[in-house]
Amino acid sequence: MTREQTGRMKDDLTAMWNRDASLPAAPEFVQENAWVISSQRGDALAFNRLVLKWESRVYNLALRMLQHPDEAAEATQEVFLSAYKSIRRFRRDAKFSTWLYRIALNHCISRARRRPQGAHFSLDDGREGATQADQLRASDSQEGELLRAENRQRVRGALAFLPPEQRAVVELKFFQEMTFDDIAAVLGVPLSTIKSRLYAALDSLKVRLGART
Amino acid sequence: MIAGCSQHQQYIQRSLVDDLSPEEQLALNEHMAGCASCRAEHDRYAHTLHQLQSYGEEPLPRHFFVYPEEVETKPWQLFRRLTPSWQMATASLAAILLMAGVAAAFHVQFRSDHGAWTLSFGRPVVQGVSDLASFKADILKTAEQKNQEAVLIWIQNLRDDLARTHADVTQEQKTQLVAALSSLETRLDNRIALTADDTRTATQKSLVELYQMISQQHEQDLNVIDSRLRLDADSREVKTKQTDAILDTLIQVANLNLKQAGEQK
Return the CATH number at A47.
1.10.1740.10
In the predicted structure, residue B176 carries a pLDDT above the cut 60? yes
Closest CA to B51 of A158, A76, A66, A127: A158
Domain enclosing residue A33, as ranges: 25-114
* pTM assigned to the model: 0.51
| Pick among B38, B39, B47, B52 to test the A interface (most A CBs inside 10 A) | B52
Query: Given a cut of 70, is residue A116 above it in pLDDT?
Result: no
Question: What's the confidence (pLDDT) of residue B22?
Answer: 92
Instruction: Verify that A168 and A91 share a domain, yes or no.
Output: no
CA distance B16 to chain A (A): 10
Flag whether pLDDT at A91 surpasses 90.
no
Residue range B21-39: mean pLDDT, rounded: 91
List the domain range (segments joined by +) for residue B24: 5-52
Q: Which of B55, B62, B64 sits opposite A80 (nearest CB)?
A: B64
Number of domains chain A contains: 3
The distance of A140 to chain B (nearest Cα, Å) reads 20
Q: Strand pairing partners for B120?
A: B109
- Taking alpha carbons only, the member of A163, A169, A155, A157 closest to residue A198 is A169
Number of domains, chain B: 1
Contact with chain B for residue A88, Cβ under 8 A:
yes
Question: Do A102 and A138 have their domain in common?
Answer: no
> Per-residue pLDDT for A198 more than 80?
yes
B9 contacts B38 by C-beta, under 8 angstroms: yes
B34 part of a folded domain: yes
Cα distances (Å, whole numbers) of residue B236 to B226, B233, B239, B240: 15, 5, 5, 6
Residue range B112-117: mean pLDDT, rounded = 70
CB contacts of B16 in chain A (<8 Å) are: 202
Report pLDDT for B162.
77
Question: How many Cβ atoms are within 10 Å of A98's Cβ, its own excluded?
Answer: 15
Amino acid at B101: G
**How many interchain CB pairs under 8 A, A with B?**
101
Q: Is residue A88 part of a domain?
A: yes
Please give the residue of chain B at the shortest CA–CA distance from A59.
B60
Q: Check residues B78 and A139 and name the one with the higher pLDDT.
A: B78
A43 touches chain B (CB under 8 A): no
Are residues A97 and A34 part of one domain? yes
Give the CATH number of the domain where residue A213 resides: 1.10.10.10
The highest-confidence range among A10-14, B176-180, B234-238, by mean pLDDT, is B234-238
A209 and A166 within one domain: yes
**What is the structure's pLDDT at A14?**
56
Identity at A151, one-letter amino acid code? N
Residue of B nearest to A90 (CA): B83
pLDDT of residue B134: 77
The answer on A151 and A170 residing in a single domain is no
Domain assignment present for residue A68? The answer is yes
Most distant CA atoms of chain B, gap in Å: 186
Distance of residue A178 Cα from the nearest chain B Cα, in angstroms: 11
Average pLDDT over residues B119-132: 61
Q: How confident is the model at residue A128 (pLDDT cuts 50, 70, 90)?
A: very low
Q: What is the mean pLDDT of residues A64-84?
A: 93
Residue A87, pLDDT > 60, answer: yes
Q: Are A182 and A98 in contact (CB under 8 A)?
A: yes
Give the Cα separation of B57 and B64 in Å (integer). Answer: 17
Question: Does residue A40 fall inside a structural domain?
Answer: yes
- Answer whether B38's CB lies under 8 Å from B31's CB: yes
Q: Is the pLDDT of residue A137 over 90?
A: no
Whether residues A133 and A194 fall in one domain:
no
Single out the residue of B160, B135, B153, B147 nearest to residue B195, CA to CA: B147
Instruction: Average the pLDDT over each of A26-30, A99-103, A163-167, B113-117 and give the range with the smallest value.
Output: B113-117
What is the Rg, in whole angstroms, of the alpha carbon atoms belonging to chain B?
60
Q: Which of B192, B164, B190 is nearest to B177 (CA)?
A: B164
Using the Cβ of A59 and the Cβ atoms of chain B, whether some distance falls under 8 Å is answered with: yes
Q: Is residue A167 situated within a structural domain?
A: yes
Residues 6+ apart with CB under 8 A from A199: B13, B14
- The average pLDDT across A144-150 equals 79
User: Is B26 part of any domain?
Assistant: yes
Q: Is residue B84 part of a domain?
A: no
pLDDT at A26: 54
* Over residues A130-135, mean pLDDT: 48
Is-contact B34 B2, C-beta < 8 A?
yes
Mutation to test the A interface, candidates B39, B49, B57, B65, most A Cβ within 10 Å:
B65
In a domain, B132, yes or no: no
Q: Predicted confidence band at A126 (pLDDT cuts at 50, 70, 90)?
A: very low
Select from B58, B86, B90 the residue whose CB has the most chain A CBs within 10 Å, as the one to mutate to test that interface: B58
Give the whole-angstrom CA distance, residue A148 versus residue A124.
14
Q: Three-class SS of residue B108?
A: coil
Question: ipTM, 2 decimals?
Answer: 0.71
| Structural domain includes residue B161 | no
pLDDT of A124 strictly over 70: no
pLDDT of residue A197: 94
Question: Is residue A2 in a domain?
Answer: no
> Which pLDDT score is estimated for A129?
44
Band of pLDDT at residue A7, cut at 50, 70 and 90: low
Residues A60 and A77 in one domain: yes
pLDDT number for residue A3: 55
Query: Cβ separation of B82 and A77 shorter than 8 Å?
Result: no
Strand partners, B111: B118
Q: What stretches of chain B show up as alpha helix (H) in DSSP?
A: 5-16, 22-33, 36-53, 75-81, 84-105, 132-164, 171-264
Q: How far apart are CA A71 and CA A156, in angstroms?
A: 14
Q: What is the pLDDT of residue A104?
A: 95
Check pLDDT > 50 for residue A148: yes
Of A202, A138, A100, nearest to B15 by C-alpha is A202
Query: Which pLDDT value is given to residue A183?
Result: 92
Examine the domain organization and report whether A96 and A138 are in the same domain: no
Identify whether B24 is part of a domain: yes
Q: Are A52 and A39 in contact (CB under 8 A)?
A: no
A208 and A139 assigned to the same domain: no
Distance of CA B256 to the CA centre of its chain: 103
- Residue A104 makes CB contacts below 8 A (sequence gap 6+) with A58, A61, A62, A75, A76, A79
Among A62-66, B59-63, B165-169, B259-263, the range scoring the smallest mean pLDDT is B165-169
Instruction: Look at residues A8, A126, A109, A4 and name the one whose alpha carbon lies nearest to residue A65.
Output: A109
Mean pLDDT score, B234-252: 93
Per-residue pLDDT, B4: 67
To the nearest 10 degrees (0 to 180), the angle between helices A143-160 and A126-136 is 150
Q: What is the pLDDT of residue A139?
A: 54
Report yes or no on B153 lying in a domain: no
For residue A66, being part of any structural domain is answered with yes
Q: To the nearest whole number, what is the mean pLDDT of chain A?
A: 80
